Chains A and B, each alone.
Chain A
Amino acid sequence: MSDAPQDQLDQLVTTAKERLDAHTYETVQWHFHESTGCPFWLEKKTELNFDPLSEIKNYEDLRKFPLFEDDWLRGGPVRRWVPKALEDKPTYVFETGGTTGIPKSRVVMDDFRIDYEMFSETLPDEYFPRGGNWMMLGPSGPRRLRLAVEHLCQHRGGICFCIDLDPRWVVKLIKKGWMEHLEEYKKHCIDQAITILTAGHEIKCLFATPKLLDQLALALEDRGTSLKEIGVTGIFSGGTEFTPQWTRYCVEELFGGPPEKSGIYMTPTYGNTLMGLACSKPVTAADNYKISYHAPQPRAVTEVVEFEDPNTPVAYGDTGRVKLTTLTKELFIPGFLERDEGEREKPFETFPWDGVSGVRPYHVFATSTTVGVY
């Protein structure tokens, strides 16, 4: 994964940009054509002061759309989001939020499978062995993640074990200040995981949120064992609280060193129900455990934009709000401002498009947001 010479990298960037522009054009044609589009966008088209079919020719043109409002995803009928061309396909609905009030819903047919199959290609077989069984230590219920991780595991030939975890209850416990209950619920989740992990199921790979991974490793140590001893070699983890310091702590103290020494490889990811998974550039001690995410272009794009002007990207290295665009046949989201901020990162050989590092809650929301749901 060494850096390519500049001219070679420039070529890769240009090719990726051309691919994104073509993909954008196709996606907009699909979502705004009467024969294929979904009721929501076909209706929205009548409110726009431009014709997406004739005026959106490349990615830059998407700036003509107003910012996507997440409230549009709340409430029904959810079928208004199903593209006409896909209306006969079996459809899932996944939810995000919803501790109080109406959650945001997203319909999905195959996107989660496609996204996670693409992500699978980035996982090193040495640590995520084909045929290895997985444990999903994350939220259950109406969440995309639970099915997506299970599909990832099955796609790689394994069988996935899961636990029950209700993140909405966790948020309520935090808001009520019921810290004893929170601790007990955390223990309940970890106990479920350890029971399975130590029951001879030959689990090699793990999805875990950072907080649960931390607690799992500590609970295993309390029982006189470790992630390494129970045979875990690959960990896929996600969450905005994924900091360089926490990663360093995991590698140095929980795992016992970098992959070549400890035999455990962890890959940080950034994603949500609305996009696929943004992968991280390999995280190393030499780079101070810096974590840079790159979206799965062209299906999703992340930009880092000015706080006051979401149509203007910040300079490389500068801080801004994370803006997401989703461009799949199942979902079109032009310009959605995430609840996160970070620094704009340059393209590199593996992902020749912009990335974002230092992802953390948007400072304006940070004081009022309950972070660390699970």
Chain B
Amino acid sequence: MLNIPVIRWGEEYDSLDKQEVLHFATGEAIANVSQANGGIIQRDLRKAGKAREILKQFSIEQLIEMVGKAGEFFVDATLPLGDGEQSPQDFIHQQSASTGLPEHMVELGMSKNSFVLNNMDRILDALTRGLPLDILSNGWGKEDRGIPISYQAQTPVLGAVLPSNSPGVHTLWLPVVPLQMGLVLKPGPQEPWTPYRMFAAYEAAGIPREIWCLYPGGIEAGAAVLGACDRAMIFGGTATVNNYKGNPKVQAHGPGFSKILIGDDCVDNWEEYIDLIVESIYVNSGRGCINCSGVWASRHTEEIAAAIAERLGPIEALPPQDPEAGLAAFTIPGMANSIWEMIEADFAEDGVTHCTEPSGARLVEKELCGYLRPIIVHCESPENEIAKKEYMFPFSTVVKCEQDKMLSSIGETLVGTVITNDESLIQQAMNAIHIDRLNIGPIATTKLNWLQPHEGNIIDFLFRNRAFQVPEELLG
């Protein structure tokens, strides 16, 4: 079994507190992971400034090239991990075994990470809107029109409290090192694999290991990372997001409540959109915040729900090695059952119809884990309780709602796809500040453009664009 240490500015630290990472189906221990206590993190973070000093010895362009190489190592190389090593195949098995994701989805996640690393120049160019990168490095420079411009780094490191259940989120912190900032990560308890493999890949690509801290641990470790870093991300539920609302130091990523809205001008052609709706609900086992959890229209909603249910309802829980497996397991004992009970309770409400019922039982309980097969629910009204719900499996409501009430009823929406040519509806959607990513037209909610910011632009989070003046001669 692998022993995975805490990483303290690149140094390995073998803690007396350890937690086993277990195979979700067999219960077998895959790794023994050292746990960091909060005090260690608070003390280490006093030296955070060093990480930026180290990285500033390289230009941003050099670092972009290095992370590109790291992307190749991440996908292809056998890399050190704790007291052992890990081949790409090992990584796929291990991540699937601890998170419950089918192996082909892990492989897809690997290629997404690699894509981001290999296209870092384009991504940074897009996120900075073409800003010369040395302005981020020097803190100031000159715009083409001759005006001084300053981007001040707000932190020497980015902290992140990472989840166990959605390896896709790692792409969000990958641009940080090329921006000459260190990384302080608390991996999810079941998903130490990506942060540790990325650490090894970066080192293999020539990036000094001293800019990394990896702190597996409990709640206390997460709180310490968030408290001690000037800028940090956390991934959690609605309560977590609410806790950090308004805190400029913390970017909280929670449930997406992503939705597809079909305008009155398009809804009579609903059959044309079923493919993209199914894709939005089902891709990546419905785990992501960008997966659709609500389809809204003013008419044909029963037919839309029935058509989605017909496509998704028959999907079975298959073993993770099966290339056809589309559902991830719930690896925490009892979790699938609890979610099913919550959903079942909502079925009792008037106006709620469970459309996937004819395809058989939704809850599949195994000895050590559980699955939920896709669930599609029709709601007569936005007032139905279940219309406000989101779960981490292919689950969606289809909600009947008048077009003029849609935008005021949908609530917070990470990705909103609005299928319409109605200029008035498009303008209202443009003005809806509760929609983060907006797609106008038939675009799946899960179709990301990597050159666009996701849930807040990381450049705006890590840098402050401030006023800055220097004598003319210095401006050059």
Q: In the assembly, what is the distance between CA of A316 and CA of B138, in Å? A: 63
Query: Given A183-B227, A221-B43, is A214 in contact with B38 using a C-beta cutoff of 8 Å?
Result: yes
Question: B243–A249 contact, CB under 8 A?
Answer: no
Given known pairs A177-B243, A179-B223, the reply for A245 and B16 (CB within 8 Å) is yes
State how many angstroms separate the Cβ of A221 from the closest Cβ of chain B.
Answer: 7
Enumerate chain A residues within 8 angstroms of B35, measured Cβ to Cβ.
245
State in angstroms the CA–CA spacing of A243 and B34 once bound together: 14
Is A246 in contact with B37, judged by CB distance below 8 angstroms? Answer: yes
Separation in Å of the B49 CB from the closest CB of chain A?
15
Please tell me if the beta carbons of B39 and A179 are within 8 angstroms of each other in the complex: no
User: Is A40's beta carbon under 8 Å from chain B?
Assistant: no
Neighbouring A residues of B239 by C-beta, 8 Å: 177
Give, as a whole number of angstroms, the nearest-CB distance from B334 to chain A: 11
Q: Is the CB of A218 within 8 A of B227?
A: no
CA gap between A289 and B348 in the complex, in Å: 55
B42 within 8 A of A: yes
B465 within 8 A of A: no
Residue of A nearest to B39 (CB): A214
Known A-B contacts A221-B43, A249-B37, A254-B39; the reply to A288 vs B16 at CB < 8 A is yes
**Per-residue interface assignment for chain B, residues 37 to 74, with 1 indicating a CB less than 8 Å from any chain A CB and 0 otherwise:** 11110110010000000000000000000000000000
Within 8 A of A (CB), among B415-438: none
Q: Determine how close the nearest CB of chain A comes to the CB of B216; give it in whole angstroms.
A: 12
- Bitwise interface map of A from 338 to 374 toward B, beta carbon under 8 Å scored 1, else 0: 0000000000000000000000000000000000100
- Shortest CB distance B19–A (Å): 12
**A253 in the interface (beta carbon within 8 A):** yes
Instruction: Assign chain A's interface to a size class.
Output: 10 to 19
Contact present for B17 and A179 (CB under 8 Å): no
- Closest B residue, CB atoms, query A213: B39
Is A245's CB under 8 angstroms from B43's CB? no
Considering only residues 238-257 of chain A, those with a C-beta below 8 Å from chain B are 243-246, 248-249, 253-254
Asked if A243 and B16 make an inter-chain contact with CB atoms under 8 angstroms apart, the answer reads: yes
Contact, CB under 8 Å: B223 / A218: no
Please give, as numbers and ranges, the residues of chain A lying within 8 Å of B242 by CB-CB distance: 177
Expressed in whole angstroms, the Cα–Cα distance for A183 and B227 within the complex equals: 9
Task: Give the shortest distance, in Å, between B22 (CB) and chain A (any CB).
Answer: 16
The answer for the CA separation of A180 and B220 in the assembled complex, in Å, is: 15
Q: Which residue of B lies closest to A218 (CB)?
A: B42
Total interface residues on B, CB under 8 Å, equals 18
Interface: B457 (CB within 8 A):
no
Interface string of B8-21 (1 = CB under 8 A from A): 00000001110000
CB distance from B174 to the nearest CB of A (A): 28
Does A245 contact B15, Cβ atoms closer than 8 Å? yes
Per-position contact with B for A182-223: 1 when CB-CB < 8 Å, else 0? 010000000000000000000000000000001001100100
B16 touches A253 (CB 8 A): no
Q: Are B39 and A218 in contact (CB under 8 A)?
A: yes
Q: Which of A217, A245, A372 contacts B17 (CB 8 A)?
A: A245
Contact B38 A248 (CB under 8 A): no
A253 touches B223 (CB 8 A): no
User: Is A249 within 8 A of B40, CB to CB?
Assistant: yes
With A and B bound together, what is the CA distance between A180 and B38 in angstroms? 16
A288–B38 CA distance with the chains assembled, in angstroms: 20
How far, in angstroms, from A208 to B43 measured CA to CA in the complex?
A: 19
Q: Which residues of B contact A254 (CB under 8 A)?
A: 39
Residues of B within 8 A of A245 (CB): 15-17, 35, 37
Which residues of the partner chain A approach B38 to less than 8 Å between Cβ atoms? Answer: 214
How far does the alpha carbon of A300 sit from the alpha carbon of B38 in the complex, in Å? 34
In the complex, the answer to whether A253 meets B243 with C-beta atoms within 8 Å is no
Beta-carbon contact of A253 and B17 below 8 Å: no
Q: Are A179 and B243 touching (Cβ within 8 A)?
A: yes
Chain B's closest residue to A177 (CB) is: B243
CB closest residue in chain A, given B220: A372
- Considering only CB atoms, which chain B residue lies closest to A254 in the complex? B39
Q: How far is the CA of A224 from the CA of B17 in the complex (A)?
A: 30
Nearest CB of A to B223, in Å = 7
Chain A contacts of B42 at CB under 8 A? 218
Q: A177-B239, A180-B247, A254-B39 are in contact. List 6 more A-B contacts (CB 8 A).
A: A177-B243, A214-B39, A218-B42, A243-B37, A249-B39, A288-B16
Seen from chain A, the residues whose Cβ lies within 8 Å of a Cβ on chain B are 177, 179-180, 183, 214, 217-218, 221, 243-246, 248-249, 253-254, 288-289, 372
Q: 4 shortest A-B CB distances, which residue pairs?
A: A245-B16, A245-B17, A214-B39, A244-B16
Q: Can you list 29 pairs linking A and B with CB atoms under 8 Å apart?
A: A177-B239, A177-B243, A179-B223, A179-B243, A180-B247, A183-B227, A214-B38, A214-B39, A217-B39, A218-B43, A221-B43, A221-B46, A243-B16, A243-B17, A243-B37, A244-B16, A244-B17, A245-B15, A245-B37, A246-B39, A248-B16, A249-B37, A249-B39, A249-B40, A253-B39, A253-B40, A253-B43, A254-B39, A289-B16
